[in-house]
Structures are given as structure tokens and as C-alpha cells.
Chain A
Amino acid sequence: MTTVISTVSAALGVAPDRVRELHPGELVVEASLAELLPVADRVVSELGGRLATLFATDDREGTGQFHVHHVWSLPAVRTFLRVSAPVDAGQPSFPSIAATYPAANWLEREVMDMFGLALEDHPNPVRVALHDDWPDGAWALRKDFPADGAVPRVEGDFHPFRPVTGEGVFQVPVGPVHAGIIEPGHFRFGVAGEPVLYLQLRLFYVHKGIEKRFERIPWGHGLFLAESISGDTTVGHALAYAHAIERLAGVEAPPRARALRVALLELERLYNHTADIGALATDVAFVVAASRGQALREGLVRLQDRLFGTRLLRGTVALGGVRRDLSSEGREMLRRHLHVFEKEFDSLIELLIDAGTFTDRVDGTGILTHQAARDLGVVGIAARASGVDGDFRRDHPHDAYAEMRFDVPIEDGGDVRARLMVRAREVEQSLVILHQVLDTVPDSPLVVPLPEQLPPWSSALGWAEAWRGPCTHWVATDERGNLARVKVTDPSLLNWPALVHAVPGNIIPDFPVINKSFNLSYSGNDR
């Protein structure tokens, strides 16, 4: 680790003793507000850093200050770097890095909304998380904001969308209540006939105060809350939270649990990718393929029910390990199912890409260029479909991934087809990983005991590469070792802004299939 510290400190141009190793694979540098942007420049140019998350903490009780934290993934050195700067409570503002690193755009505005810290030099310093009928000063994540009780609504004429002018040009408003069985959000299309000129998003309709809620519950219960951040990413978020707690407590899940966690995360990937591929067929009205996708997905969740007693893998992860074992009969059942699944899945993909009626709709549709994906800091499937390599399973291996052999499929089309093909190829890799787990699952206890209390005034980052992309949880404790702050970052929060760049130039009827090809979580984004 000392070599990593010297590499990082040299790259940042700071003294080595300013870079501390907090936990394995997690460094921290204390900086001043003025240093935030220059440090970010160096992190990106010298270390190839990518913004993993950005957030604030209210530490006024302890230090009389707020803090702004930038967390960077440094894949080249398999390390995360947190850069933290104090913000004077009497002068609550901090410099933005969004003009140079647009990935910070929404994250910084969320800090502004939830902490009341003003943004300096932000290109668009308007609310993102709080809707317009929230009063000024409702800074929910400040410590002195009451978690309970309704916040009064402000009357007014709200959220002026960018106007459109010109002959035959008009706006199409959609949502928040949509036509399908999906989550709520508002889309505002500016269109000229059918082609979309631009798209504006209004999200955070399902903001339910999850980060504040974490501060109010025992950390043991936090696991169940983590499972409900995004229902389709139960294992991903549960693992990210469990990793953070385990790192705080200085324990590591036993070998069998680490192997089974890999199996759970890959099963979650399988059923979601399969469902998405079926849903893409639905959105272009290819009914046969859609039904087969649904049937394959139902087969997987029923298998999960038989193996673990839960269709959607709830309650399978424990703090310190796993709650459910996989018996040898269970492993055999899983092996047999995957064998049949693989053949069926291959024929589904063949059915889709052999059908001109399908490929006509997905080829060249909803292109997110490589440049845009890189500039916006897009992650997960969406990034890998636009030629941006990155996967925490390989770059920051968690659980038993360091022992697994697998590829990270990259496509460079950036269109719906590319996002479909990334999923299809990831399914292949998931099967490869699952077979490795099934062949080598070690014998050990399922959980390691955790201490009664977490260490006070501590923090740790937890992460997992879930099916949609990386989930990160940054957890900090107070003087009694209770949860003082949990920052949850779902890949959707980093990817939603990219949708706006993939839609213009396409026609409105293609929007559902473009949106589905990203399949971002509203709940994970809004929290």
C-alpha cells in the first residue's frame, strides 16, 4: 500500500503524509476548498480517476463545519480516493467542479438542495432533488432538520421548462404517472413532428428520504433499508452496505459467504438482464420474444425462491456474510437450471438479432457517444455499451471476485443494440462465474460475528458492481458508533443525465425502447 500512497501523493503533488489509508483500497486526503478543483484535475489527468460519488456531511456538532467529499475510483491502482474539504458553517458555499467534470453536476446540486451549501461557478445551480413546492431552507440532511413531520408546500408557478418556438414545434409532457407498470418521472419532449429536438427530465418523485432514514435506525436494520433502495438491485445495495459496515468493524465475510455473495450478485444480474432483453422486445412489439424473455426471467426467480426462499433475493445477504446457504442439492439444481437456461437464452438472442423487424428498431437508435459517456461519467452497462471500460468486480474486486476468471464485455456502438449486446454477453460471463462458484464453493461458516457497536467517529466506503452498474455506500458513525451519515449512490444517479443526450434526433415512438435499454432506477436515483 505504501507504493500506492507514494504513487497517489506524487500524482497529486502533495506530501505523502497527507494521504492516509483508511481501509484496504481506500485512501483519504484532507484538502482545502480551493484545492478541490486542482486536485480533481490531477486525479483525472495523472491517475485516470473517475468520479464514484460526491456528497456532503454536516459535522457542525463536532468541528463546527460541513465537509464536501469527492470520491474517485482509481482503477489503475485498484484504490478509491476520498478528497474531503471543510466548509465553514458561517460561509456555507463550496466551489463546483461540474463545469470541468459534468459527472458532478447532479451530485453537487443535491448537496445544495439537502445541505443548503451554495455552489460557486456551477453552470446550472438550480434545484435537482427538491421539487419547486419545497420551501427554501428545507435542508433535509442537515442534522438540525427534523426527520418527521410534513414540510409545508409553497404555492407558485413552477418549473418552467425550456420553451420551444418555431412552426410545427411543440412540447409533449409525459408523466409522472406513466402508461406502463413503471416508476414515476416526468419527461418533457420538445419535438418537431416526430423527431425529438431535446428532452428534459424531472425526477425525484419517489424521494423518500432514505439517507435521512438511515440516520434514525440501528445499523443492523440498515441492511433491510438498503435492500429497498432499488427493488431490482436488492443484492447490489445490500452488499455495498454490508461491505461498508464490515470495513468499519474491521471484519471480513468468511470464504463461503464471499463465494455465495458472488453467486447471489450474478443471479441478480441474470434475472434483470433477461427481463430487460424481454422488455426491449416488448417495446418494439415483438411479442414472441417478449414472452420468452418473461418466461426465462420467471424461471430464474422461481429457482431463487426454491433455493433461498425469496423470489427477488431479499434477506439473502447478512452483515458479516450471508443468511442463506446453498446445499449440494441446491447447487445441483442450480447447475441443471443454468444448463437449460443457457440454451434457451442463446436461442432468444438469436431470435432477436435474426429478426430484421427488431434490428431495424434498435440499430443506431438512442446513440450515446463514447465522448458523451466519458465526459458525463456514465457507469455500468450504459458506459460499457459506449466503449467506456470499467467494472468494479475487476477494478476493485469485492467478495470472491479476485479469484474469479471472467471478461468485461465492451461494445462501442452506444446504441440500443450495443446495450442489448452488453447484457447478452454479460449473461454469458455470469454463467461462467456461477459455474466457478458452484465448482469451488469453500467450506466455512456463513457469517463472521460483528461487534455490538461500531467504532465511533469512523467511516468506510462499501461498493458492489451490481447488474446496472456500481452501487456505493459511504457510511460514517457518530460518537456512539451509530449511523451519522449514509451516502447511497445508485448507478442511476450517475446515468440519468446521459439519457438526455441519447434521445434527441430519435423519434418519440423510439423513446420507450431507448429508455428501457438504459433501464435506470427511479427509486435508486431519487432515494
Chain B
Amino acid sequence: MLSIITKSLKTGSLTEANPFGTQPAFGFPVIDFGRCTACDECAPVCPTGAIRAAASGSEKTLSLSYASCIQCRACVEQCTEQAIGISHDVEVAAYSRDQLARTASFAFDPESGRATFARVETQPGPTVAESAGRLRDRIRGRLGRSLHVRQVDAGSCNGCEMEIAATTNPFYDLERYGIHFVASPRHADLLLVTGPVTRNMEIALRRTYEATPEPRIVVAVGACGCSGGIFGEGTYAAVGGVDRVVPVDVYIPGCPPRPQAILNGLLVAMGIREARIGLRIGD
């Protein structure tokens, strides 16, 4: 017993005062359209279709979505123009799939084969600020600074579970933010859902959602939870994204998202932190 006390005193507190803004080496890919020649070589190397290229007559488009990006960096290594870089921002969250994606248009001259950047298309649906307002209205005054979370694995590879569990370790200590993991959906304010939603988990997820009291916020975690990720959408075994089964309030992309990104997403869902996409395609 004495040795335990001595050791604890020696170790002191490991909890980091501010777990955010750590700027790890690899975040998400960012495309600099000033350099991009719309050569379309990045799209085929993307294992999840997070980068898509399309062409019709004199126009080409290139889109990038963090919802399905698994941060493999294959596109970065492929880009001969060095137009694709890596952000050091991992604390990404959004209120819709659309907010996680950007599409750029290029004017294309089929004769010379040259493409010139024209514009970044307007993102469809509500803006981040509008969505943030709506979510705040829904939870207004009901949560305060306390959040009870039930985690639901709807088909994850368990990578996200490991990083969610890491948010409870002494370094991140998410309980200091008033966030607490509970054992039953009936005690929960929020469902933290991972995985592409397998056919075999679809009913369980729906029932868990129905068992959760209002305002029952749903947060989708990871590339699979946001879009089906590497496992794809609409396969025989998986639906492909939590929002195909229950309404999703906040999306936390990444494969898997780091603990600080998960923590950030939860604070976004509580209306405490502003959602930031960090998507600087042509911005």
C-alpha cells in the first residue's frame, strides 16, 4: 500500500491542461488548386473514393471528402504536381457529410488536355454556423456542462474503440469536461456510434437510438461511421454510414480519429467548441 501511495505521489498528475492543438505530423490531405492540373491521377489511388474526379465536355471536377478519407496519404504520394499536402489539423468535426466535402471545377480544353482551375463549388445544405445554431437550439439548457455518452459499435474494426477508450486515460481524462460514459442508452444524452453499420447491427442501433431519451444527440465517429469508409456503402453486409440508419448531429472523420479529435467532436456536440472542418481546398 505504501509503495502505491509513494508511486502515485511521484508520478503526479499526467493530465494535459490542454489536449488540443497538438499539430501531429499527419492530419488530412489538403489540395492546393493553384497547383492542381486536374490530371486525375490521385482519384484512382484513393482506396475509399474520398477523392473523385469527373469530366464532361469542357469541364472537369475534383472533389475531396473527409467523411471517407482514411488518411492513408496515397494521394499525397501520387501527386506529381505536389498540389496535395497534409494538414496538421486533426480536430475536425462537422454537422453534415456535405460540410466535410469540397468540389472544385476546372475549365478543360480537350485539345491541349490542359485544365485550369475555375472555382470551388458552393457546399450544399446548411453552413457550419447555421447547423451549429440549430443544434444549440435543440439542446438549449438541457445538457448544461454534463454529458452522458453511450458508445455503440455498429461494425467498427475496433480502432475507433481504442481511441475512444484512450479519451478516458489519465492524459486526456475526458471526465473533467463533464463527459461520462454510461452503461445504458437509457442513461445517455448522446450516442457515440462507430462503424459502417452492418446489417447485423442495424436493428440493434435503431433500438438503442429509440431507447435513448431526448434530445438524443448522435455523433458518428470515424471514416466508416461517417460514410462506410474502406468497407464501402450499400454492400450486402453493411449499410455504409450511421446517417443511413439514424439522424446524425455531428461527424468526426478520421481513421481512426485521434483522442483529441473525438474529445473535440463531443465538445462540439455540447455546443462548447466551434466545429472546424480545416478543409482548405482552394479556400
Interface residues in chain A, defined as those with a beta carbon under 8 Å from any beta carbon in chain B: 131, 138, 140, 145-151, 176-177, 179-184, 204-210, 212-213, 216-217, 220-221, 224-225, 228-232, 234, 275, 288, 291-292, 294-295, 297-298, 301, 305, 309-312, 314-315, 347, 351, 521-523, 526
Please give, as numbers and ranges, the residues of chain A lying within 8 Å of B155 by CB-CB distance. 205-206, 208, 523
CA distance A296 to B152 in the complex (A): 26
B199 at the interface (CB under 8 A from A): yes
The 0/1 profile, CB within 8 Å of A marked 1, for residues 29-73 of chain B is 000000000000000010110000000000000000000001111
Please give, as numbers and ranges, the residues of chain A lying within 8 Å of B177 by CB-CB distance. none
* Contact across chains for A209 and B157 when beta carbons are under 8 A apart: no
CA distance A207 to B14 in the complex (A): 38
* Contact across chains for B237 and A208 when beta carbons are under 8 A apart: yes
Among residues of A, the one whose C-beta sits closest to the C-beta of B207 is A177
Among residues of A, the one whose C-beta sits closest to the C-beta of B151 is A181
Q: Give B101 Cβ to nearest chain A Cβ, in Å.
A: 20
Within the complex, which residue of B154, B161, B184, B195 is in contact with A181, where a contact is CB–CB below 8 Å?
B161
Known A149-B236, A177-B185, A224-B72: A184·B199 in contact at CB below 8 Å? no
B126 at the interface (CB under 8 A from A): no
Please give, as numbers and ranges, the residues of chain B lying within 8 Å of A351 by CB-CB distance. 3-4, 7
Among residues of B, the one whose C-beta sits closest to the C-beta of A306 is B25
* Contact across chains for B199 and A150 when beta carbons are under 8 A apart: yes
CA distance A179 to B188 in the complex (A): 12
Within the complex, which residue of B73, B166, B198 is in contact with A206, where a contact is CB–CB below 8 Å?
B198
B271 at the interface (CB under 8 A from A): no
CA distance A184 to B150 in the complex (A): 13
Which 8 pairs show the lowest CB-CB distances between chains A and B?
Answer: A231-B159, A209-B237, A179-B183, A221-B47, A294-B169, A231-B157, A309-B25, A228-B157
* Contact across chains for A207 and B200 when beta carbons are under 8 A apart: yes
Residues 237-283 of B at the A interface (beta carbon under 8 Å): 237-239, 255-256, 258
Among residues of A, the one whose C-beta sits closest to the C-beta of B77 is A323
B87 at the interface (CB under 8 A from A): no
Q: Give B194 Cβ to nearest chain A Cβ, in Å.
A: 9
* Contact across chains for B159 and A232 when beta carbons are under 8 A apart: yes
* Contact across chains for B169 and A147 when beta carbons are under 8 A apart: no
Within the complex, which residue of A150, A206, A213 is in contact with B195, where a contact is CB–CB below 8 Å?
A206
CA distance A229 to B230 in the complex (A): 10
CA distance A228 to B195 in the complex (A): 11
* Contact across chains for A184 and B153 when beta carbons are under 8 A apart: yes
A-B contact pairs, 27 of them (CB 8 A): A148-B234, A177-B150, A180-B181, A181-B165, A181-B168, A183-B153, A205-B198, A205-B201, A206-B200, A207-B198, A208-B196, A208-B238, A209-B231, A209-B238, A213-B231, A225-B47, A225-B230, A228-B159, A231-B158, A312-B163, A314-B70, A315-B73, A347-B7, A351-B7, A523-B155, A523-B157, A523-B158
* Contact across chains for B236 and A146 when beta carbons are under 8 A apart: yes
* Contact across chains for A231 and B161 when beta carbons are under 8 A apart: yes
How many B residues have CB within 8 A of the partner chain? 63
B110 at the interface (CB under 8 A from A): no
Interface residues in chain B, defined as those with a beta carbon under 8 Å from any beta carbon in chain A: 3-4, 7-8, 11, 14, 24-26, 45, 47-48, 70-73, 150-166, 168-171, 181, 183-185, 195-196, 198-201, 204, 208, 224, 229-232, 234-239, 255-256, 258
* Contact across chains for A231 and B235 when beta carbons are under 8 A apart: no
CA distance A276 to B3 in the complex (A): 23
* Contact across chains for A177 and B204 when beta carbons are under 8 A apart: yes
CA distance A291 to B238 in the complex (A): 36
Among residues of B, the one whose C-beta sits closest to the C-beta of A522 is B158
Within the complex, which residue of B229, B230, B234 is in contact with A150, where a contact is CB–CB below 8 Å?
B234
Within the complex, which residue of A146, A207, A217, A294 is in contact with B170, where a contact is CB–CB below 8 Å?
A294
Known A288-B4, A295-B170, A351-B3: A147·B161 in contact at CB below 8 Å? no
Within the complex, which residue of A145, A177, A309 is in contact with B26, where a contact is CB–CB below 8 Å?
A309
* Contact across chains for B201 and A230 when beta carbons are under 8 A apart: no
Q: Give A261 Cβ to nearest chain B Cβ, in Å.
A: 18
- Extra pairs beyond A184-B204, A206-B200, A212-B237 (13, CB < 8 Å): A145-B236, A148-B235, A149-B234, A150-B239, A176-B201, A184-B153, A206-B198, A228-B159, A230-B158, A292-B11, A298-B170, A298-B171, A523-B156
CA distance A182 to B8 in the complex (A): 28
Chain A CB within 10 Å — which of B72, B184, B234 has the most?
Answer: B72
Q: Give A225 Cβ to nearest chain B Cβ, in Å.
A: 6
CA distance A177 to B191 in the complex (A): 12
Among residues of A, the one whose C-beta sits closest to the C-beta of B235 is A209
* Contact across chains for A207 and B26 when beta carbons are under 8 A apart: no
Within the complex, which residue of A140, A206, A522 is in contact with B236, where a contact is CB–CB below 8 Å?
A140
Please give, as numbers and ranges, the residues of chain B lying within 8 Å of A131 by CB-CB distance. 200
Please give, as numbers and ranges, the residues of chain B lying within 8 Å of A228 by CB-CB distance. 70, 157, 159, 224, 229-231, 255
Please give, as numbers and ranges, the residues of chain B lying within 8 Å of A288 by CB-CB distance. 4, 7-8
CA distance A182 to B158 in the complex (A): 8
* Contact across chains for B183 and A298 when beta carbons are under 8 A apart: no
Please give, as numbers and ranges, the residues of chain A lying within 8 Å of B4 by CB-CB distance. 288, 351
Please give, as numbers and ranges, the residues of chain B lying within 8 Å of A522 by CB-CB distance. 153, 158
* Contact across chains for A204 and B200 when beta carbons are under 8 A apart: yes
* Contact across chains for A210 and B231 when beta carbons are under 8 A apart: yes
Chain A CB within 10 Å — which of B200, B208, B229 has the most?
Answer: B200
Among residues of B, the one whose C-beta sits closest to the C-beta of A350 is B3
Please give, as numbers and ranges, the residues of chain B lying within 8 Å of A311 by CB-CB distance. 163, 258
Chain B CB within 10 Å — which of A208, A221, A228, A275 has the most?
Answer: A208
Known A181-B181, A205-B198, A305-B24: A213·B232 in contact at CB below 8 Å? yes
* Contact across chains for B161 and A182 when beta carbons are under 8 A apart: yes
CA distance A183 to B161 in the complex (A): 8
* Contact across chains for B157 and A150 when beta carbons are under 8 A apart: no
Known A212-B235, A315-B73, A351-B4: A521·B158 in contact at CB below 8 Å? yes
Please give, as numbers and ranges, the residues of chain B lying within 8 Å of A309 by CB-CB distance. 24-26
CA distance A526 to B150 in the complex (A): 23
